Amino acid sequence: MKQDDSRTTEHDDPMRDSYSLLRNFMDKLSVVFVNTMFLLLLQHVVLTSVRAAVGHQHRHPRHSLATDRAALLEFKKAIIHDPYSKLLNWNDSVHICRFNGVRCDKHHHRVAQLILNESGLVGLLSPFVSNLTGLRILYISNNQFFGTIPKQLSSLRHLRYLQIDGNNFQGPIIDSLSIFPKIIGAAFLNNHFNGTISPAFFSNCPRSLEALDLANNSFTGEIPVEIGNCTNLWSLSLYNNQFTGELPFSLTKTVIGNLDIEYNNFTGELPSKIIGHLPGLVYLHLSYNLMESHDGNTNLTPFFDALQNCTHLVELELVGMNLGGRLPDSIGRLAADTKSISLQENKITGSIPPSISNLQKLNILNLSSNRLNETISAEIRKLPQLQQLFLSHNFFSGPIPEVFDRFPLLGLLDLSHNEFSGEIPASLGNMSRLNYLFLNNNRLSGRIPPSLGRCTELHKIDLSYNRLSGTIPSQISGMSEIRIFINFSHNQLEGPLPLELSKLEDVQEIDLSWNNLSGSIFPQISSCIAVRLINFSDNSLNGTLPDSLGELKNLEAFDVSGNHLSGMIPTSLNKSRILTYLNLSFNDFEGMIPSGGIFSLITNLSVMGNPRLCGKRAGLHPCPRKRHLFRSRIFLIIFSLVIFISAFLSIMCCVIGLRRIQIIISSKKQQAVGRKPRAPEPILNFPRITYRELSDATAGFDDQRLVGSGSYGRVYKGVLSDGTAIAVKVLHVQSGNSTKSFNRECQVLKRIRHRNLIRIITACSLPDFKALVLPYMANGSLDSRLYPHSGPGLGTGSSDLSLIQRVNICSDIAEGMAYLHHHSPVRVIHCDLKPSNVLLNDDMTALVSDFGIARLVMTAAGGNAAFENMGNSTANKLAGSIGYIAPEYGFGSITSTKGDVYSFGILVLEMVTRKRPTDDMFVGGLSLHRWVKSHYHGRVEKVVDSSLVRASKDQLPEVKKMWEVAIGELIELGILCTQESPSTRPTMLDAADDLDRLKRYLTGDTTATFASSLGVSSSTIGDD
């Protein structure tokens, strides 16, 4: 091998030399390549590092406090109005972390929180907020931001809490919750968002989401099943929207503990299957939806059985759903922590199950406005924590059970509007914690138990509209904590006013009207320093009014009409600067009416029926001046002048009389020679119907034929011998006022003819019998159709009147009233327009009726309106019914057409809301007008009759739009007609014209416009 090698070396081969050179070259080239690649790699690393450093220098301002400052200043530029100067210190001289509402994260040197709740800010939400990429909390609740939510908010990837509620945002909501991957709570409530919730909204739902609030918006459509993707969702609030369909079963994939879907249009049976799979449910609010109980709305058992699985349930609300069925025994097997059960405004029948006593922590039980009609079980006494018990507007009867004193913590007991009878249990006086006691509108009799005086913490007590008798117990002084009102009106109480009333220093309202109380009003009444209203009317009080009344600085209304009070009217009443209603009518006051204060506002309406009063007011005789002794010469001169003037006037009368006789004789001579006399005015021909015929037609005025009754008489249904159906209105002839009412109604009805006014068939007048014969209206009164099966208070159940029917009825009434005010031969002021005085014929046409207290108006020369002189008729005494009386009548203003307009406005609002103006909720200055007006520019659905709201839910969009327009127009018309100042109210012609256009619009006339004739819109209405 060595030889061979040496041989090869010794003998060179050119090819091998070339190969060797090439190999050496390649070796060197590879070294150079490796070195070059290394240098290139090193260069890349260096350049990358440099670029990263440079890039960091350029990107850092996008994630610094400097750019956060710039974003916030752009946010400020979008604000139009900052009433509280909340953003005043957002300027270059203040460090960004000290800006009002700004909180910084010291570790990351970024803005972490922007909290500007309730700052009064007005403007758009700037998209530059998206540059605050370190933001964790964004709170801008209860401002006036408007417009849409900027899509750039998707840059806030670290946002955990978002609250933009209580603003005016509109349009669709954000596309998806997934744009906030770390969101825990989001609140969009109280805005104007609309449209449907798309499935994408809940797709990829962040696992961190625990609370979502979409309440008080205008969302529609169904809830997507994708909501089940929010597996950690604990609180879901959809309150007061327009969602439809059934709740998705996918909710069972969540951990819902608070579910609030009230005031929507969800349908189907109560969600028993869903509820049974939500064991962590704590708060369940399903009220005011279109759901029904099982088995055709007759069975509540499956739902309450499912609720047994909710072992942490605290609150249950199923209000206003017209749910049918009986309360099952399983209600007593709800969670041990259950504290509140609200089932009012339904159709629940039967009794309260004794098993309910198992709910030892129950605080509130509300079963009012149902059809419960059996006894109250004694087992109910075993609820030691019960604080509020509402059982009003049901059909409970018999004595009030002796169980309520067993509730040591009971603060409110409402048994009103039932059929309880017998005496008030004395044991109620053992309820030491009782604040509110409502026993009104029952059939209770006997005396007021003195033991009630031991209820020392009472704030309100209402025993009105019963048959209580005897005296007011002196122990009433024990109710020294009464702060709101004491109402014993409309009973049969007698005896003197108890002096102990003066010890109720904090009471605000005292109503003892319509009883048989006697004696005088004691001076110590001035000790009730907080009282705002005193009503002692329609009793038998006598004596004089004490001067100490002037010391009641908070007195706003004082009514002692219909008593036997006498003496001078105390001038001290003019000291009260806020006294706005004073009624002293129909007493025996004497002397001159004082001046100043309230006396400068009232008219003779407030003092009528006091024949010995005098003054310069219309209808009163002037007060005699103090007479001085005259010298005999002056007396003789005056006497001579009187004799001379009398003789002169006698001569003139004789001359005029003789001249008149000559004219009559001449006229008769002309007729004798063939000249035709002037034709007499036509007289309407009314048929003659005897008392016997009326008695036969009504089966001897049988109570079975009774269709209505009032203060002046009773109305019977009758059928004449020819088959004509009639209504016979029989007046109480024992009452002088009823006789005057009969005469008044005859005067009006014989002068008017209109399709929307009741017509008279005939009248029957005997010394001991007076009746009006009218056409029988098969559909009854508007009141009976609006409040079927209801008592004098809140109407229960629901009305079957559709929106179009209500508009047509309002239009009919307006047409009839416009005729009375502007077109009838003699102008008429109705004075008592209300639903019970509106009748509905076979085709639901409305006819205004009951003209017993109407006023006739004559137009004097020059066009000035002059009221006929009617003396002491009922028209002078009354100005309407409580709740419908125009406010100016309280100041003594004379009746006018604008008073009728006010009553019509109340009626229109009542048609929309199905709330009587005398509803129990209207207390403390709240009225039907103010309640509706406060929601007019917000969520009108809160005040609209729930049956109308339900009827609109499933309609086509164009039909729903017409519904919204019609409701809005009716509300606006009602608000305009019930304005405080008469001069700002429209006329009935204006109202009739507006309603006519609304009728045409609802029938498809798209050219119809509204409110133009009224000359004012709700936006110009001042606050009351």
DSSP string over 563-602: SEEEEPPPGGGGG-SS--EEE--SSEEEEEPP-SGGGGT-
Residues 6+ apart with CB under 8 A from 635: none
Q: Which residue in 414, 783, 832, 990 is the catalytic one?
A: 832
DSSP β-bridge partners for residue 445: 467
> Whole-angstrom Cα distance, residue 230 to residue 203?
9
Tokens of 139: 């709170």
| Under 8 Å between Cβ of 855 and 831 | yes
| 729 annotated to bind ligand | yes
> Whole-angstrom Cα distance, residue 392 to residue 372?
10
- Beta strands in 268-362, from DSSP E residues, in sequence order: 283-285, 315-317, 324-326, 340-342, 347-350
Tokens of 76: 């400020």
> Whole-angstrom Cα distance, residue 338 to residue 722?
65
Active site residue 165: no
What is the separation of C-alpha 673 from the centre of its chain, rounded to a whole number of angstroms?
A: 75
> Whole-angstrom Cα distance, residue 585 to residue 669?
56
DSSP β-bridge partners for residue 118: none
* Closest of 1004, 778, 811 to residue 911, by C-alpha: 811
> Whole-angstrom Cα distance, residue 883 to residue 886?
8
| Cα separation values, 773 from 730, 732, 784, 820, 850, Å | 9, 15, 21, 21, 12
**b/e map 616-641, b = 16+ CB within 10 Å:** ebebbeeeeeeeeeeeeeeeeeeeee
Upper half-sphere CA count for residue 284 (Cβ side, 13 Å): 28
Neighbours of 1014 (CB within 10 A): 19
H/E run at residue 897: helix 897-913
* Closest of 577, 621, 619, 613 to residue 596, by C-alpha: 577
Pairing of strands 265-266, 324-326: unpaired
Q: Which amino acid is at 338?
A: T
> Whole-angstrom Cα distance, residue 595 to residue 333?
69
**b/e map 443-456, b = 16+ CB within 10 Å:** ebbeebbebbbbbe
* Closest of 436, 386, 427 to residue 408, by C-alpha: 386
DSSP category for residue 319: -
Cα dihedral: 317, 320, 324, 325 (round 10): 30
Catalytic residues: 832
Which residues are part of a known binding site for ATP?
A: 729
